[in-house]
Amino acid sequence: MVRQHSEPYLWLLFSAGGVLSAMLMPSLLLLFGIAFPLGWVRPPTHERMLAVLANPLTRLVFLGLCVLSLVHWAHRFRHTLHDGLRLAHPMITALCYGAAVAGSALAAYLLWQVA
Amino acid sequence: MSPGQVQPEYRQRVLPPRVSTLWWLGKGTYFAFILRELSCVFVAWFVAYLLLLVRAVSQGDASYQEFLAWSATTPILLLNLVSFLFLIFHTVTFFDAAPRAMVMKVGRNRVPGRVVLAGHYAGWAAASAIVCWLLLGA
Amino acid sequence: MADRIKLQVARYRPEREAEATFDEYEVPCPKDWVVLDGLNHVKDRIDGTLAYRWSCRMGVCGSCGMMVNGEPKLTCATFLADYAPGPIRVEPLRNFPVVRDLIVDIGDFMRKLVTVRPWIVREEEKPLSAGEYLQTPEQMDDYKQYSMCINCMLCYAACPVYGLDPLFIGPAAIALAQRYNLDSRDEGAAERHRVLSEHEGIWGCTFVGECTRVCPKHVDPAGAIQRYKLTAAVETVKAFFMPRGA
């Protein structure tokens, strides 16, 4: 019987977060972080933003992106603290994944507020 | 040693391996690995940024315009520029790893790694196109 | 091109010193000499007390792994001329305890290797009279790359995770486990899964990728590990939802 621990599940979530963030973030970041502020393209109107965010499928994908990206960060950051600075402690683990859970809850709440 | 004296037992004294905590500063490839891992910090930053955007949208047009203005300030712009570079780094390295982990066979033939890689980039292109169409389309 | 080159060789003589030191030797540098030739010249002509391991001198036995200018290399496959004008720093393989001079204690790897059962495991052996196990070329291709491992341990010297956490099972052990997991004649994947899915099994790996970069036989242990992570994770999820098996 294999001794159960959480690494396999966390790794799957980390991988999913990595793929999702890789697929969606570059274009979003290019638009909202660089192109709109620099005036290369006109940003969408407020009505359009509301319409986009009102769509249930968009909300689902957006929430998935936030949750999985945060888990991706938590898992990778925790391992990097161990590899890079030899910092490993149950507190660090709790803080990292805890922050991901908190951020996910915040994301869900903010999305719900858009309605 | 004089005759009759017992030889002391020889204990093998091995030199234990020592790794410096800053081992990753010692080689270019190690440093690139740490940078790759730290790209996750910029992923988390962008989640925060997106959530700030969503909050601004839900608070009305004035809030939204304020957010857009804030995103154009120099420190935020620079942060997002750096984030974008790290995100590209993340995308390229993560997709590079995908064919190593996903080994698939169709019948008796193995799907070549570059097909898996191409599939990922195709997905990325499609996702980017949808994002652009959603936000910029007529 | 210079016809001599300096070797700065790490020495560790436990009977007289508590720390490692460096001795410098000047050796000939013909264009076809490798670092091992240089060391043999030192031992034959200059300092017979130098201790190091080597055997086949052609890159198949895995005995002569050492750090050459900070990189894990097979000294029989590393040309002196490539480092001209030198000097070349030769040290024992990193991340292993040093017994003497350039000789390291590889016991940890040997013990870990056994735990993954690197042999064909079968529920029931076929009797000899039943003939050979047959395998198609495609079936052999499934595991062939991982079978090229010569246990030289350059990957362990390169792996920072192994350096930081000596409990980590390490690249070669996992690659060799995969060599048997993917062999169509083998039925031992479940047994190996028990060992590999420990915290210090595959889950210690953070895919630095250095092991693959330094491997002289192109085994790609990093790829073997990532592939097994996916297999093991999927198996774990399946076991969670279907504890008695599908």
Q: Which residues of A touch B61 (CB under 8 A)?
A: 46
A102 to chain C, closest Cα gap in Å: 25
Residue A114 has pLDDT above 90, yes or no: no
Determine the pLDDT at residue B110: 86
Domain count along chain B: 1
Q: Which residues of B touch A37 (CB under 8 A)?
A: 68, 71-72, 76-77, 80
* DSSP character string of A67-106: HHHHHHHHHHHHHHHHHHH----HHHHHHHHHHHHHHHHH
Average pLDDT over residues A56-84: 96
Q: Which among B15, B26, B100 has CB closest to C223?
A: B100
Question: Which one-letter amino acid corresponds to residue B134?
Answer: L
Determine the pLDDT at residue C239: 85
B96 domain-assigned: no
H/E stretch holding C195 reads helix C189-196
Task: Decide if B15 and C138 are in contact by the 8 Å CB cutoff.
Answer: no
C-alpha to C-alpha distance for C226 and B97, rounded to whole angstroms:
8
B134 domain-assigned: no
DSSP state of C80: G
Of C202, C105, C209, C205, residue with least CA distance to C164 = C205
Task: Decide if A110 and B51 are in contact by the 8 Å CB cutoff.
Answer: yes
Residue C209 contacts B, CB cutoff 8 Å: yes
Residue A88 has pLDDT above 80, yes or no: yes
Fold of C107-241: Fumarate Reductase Iron-sulfur Protein; Chain B, domain 2 (1.10.1060)
Chain segment B59-83, per-residue pLDDT in tens: 999 999 999 999 999 999 999 999 9
Residue A4 has pLDDT above 80, yes or no: no
B93 domain-assigned: no
Task: In chain C, list all ranges with CATH 1.10.1060.10.
Answer: 107-241
DSSP state of C158: H
| Regions of chain C where pLDDT drops below 70 | 1-2, 244-246
Task: In chain C, list all ranges with CATH 3.10.20.30.
Answer: 4-104
Report the percent of chain B where pLDDT is more than 90: 80
Mapped onto helix, strand or coil, the DSSP state of residue B106 is strand
Task: Decide if A8 and C164 are in contact by the 8 Å CB cutoff.
Answer: no
Chain segment A31-62, per-residue pLDDT in tens: 999 999 999 999 999 999 999 999 999 999 99
Residue C223 contacts B, CB cutoff 8 Å: yes
C140 to chain A, closest Cα gap in Å: 29
B12 domain-assigned: no
Task: Decide if C97 and B101 are in contact by the 8 Å CB cutoff.
Answer: no
Question: Can you read off the two tokens belonging to residue C17?
Answer: 């010193």
B71 domain-assigned: yes
Domain-wise residue ranges, chain A? 7-113
Chain segment B79-116, per-residue pLDDT in tens: 999 999 999 999 999 999 999 999 888 887 889 989 99
Name the residue range of residue B61's domain. 24-82
Within 65-104 of B, beta carbons closer than 8 Å to A belong to 65, 68, 71-72, 76-77, 80-81, 83-84, 87-88, 90-91, 94-95, 98, 101
Q: Which residues of A touch C210 (CB under 8 A)?
A: none
Q: Which residues of A touch B43 (CB under 8 A)?
A: 17, 21, 25, 69, 72-73
* DSSP character string of B13-68: --B-----TTGGGS-HHHHHHHHHHHHHHHHHHHHHHHHHHHHHHHT-HHHHHHHH
- The mean pLDDT of chain C is 94
Residue B94 contacts C, CB cutoff 8 Å: no
B43 domain-assigned: yes
Q: ipTM of the predicted structure?
A: 0.94
Residues pairing with C7 in the sheet: C25, C88
C177 to chain A, closest Cα gap in Å: 17
Residue B128 contacts A, CB cutoff 8 Å: yes
CATH of domain C4-104: 3.10.20.30
Q: Which residues of C touch B97 (CB under 8 A)?
A: 207, 226
Chain segment B16-65, per-residue pLDDT in tens: 999 999 999 999 999 999 999 999 999 999 999 999 999 999 999 999 99
Determine the pLDDT at residue A3: 62
Determine the pLDDT at residue C130: 92
B15 domain-assigned: no
Determine the pLDDT at residue A96: 97
A59 to chain C, closest Cα gap in Å: 27
- The mean pLDDT of chain A is 94
C-alpha to C-alpha distance for B119 and B49, rounded to whole angstroms:
29
B38 domain-assigned: yes
Chain segment A17-29, per-residue pLDDT in tens: 999 999 999 999 9
Confidence of residue A1 (pLDDT cuts 50, 70, 90): very low
Evaluate the CA torsion angle C168, C172, C173, C177 in order and state its sign: positive
Q: What is the pTM of this model?
A: 0.92
CATH of domain A7-113: 1.20.1300.10
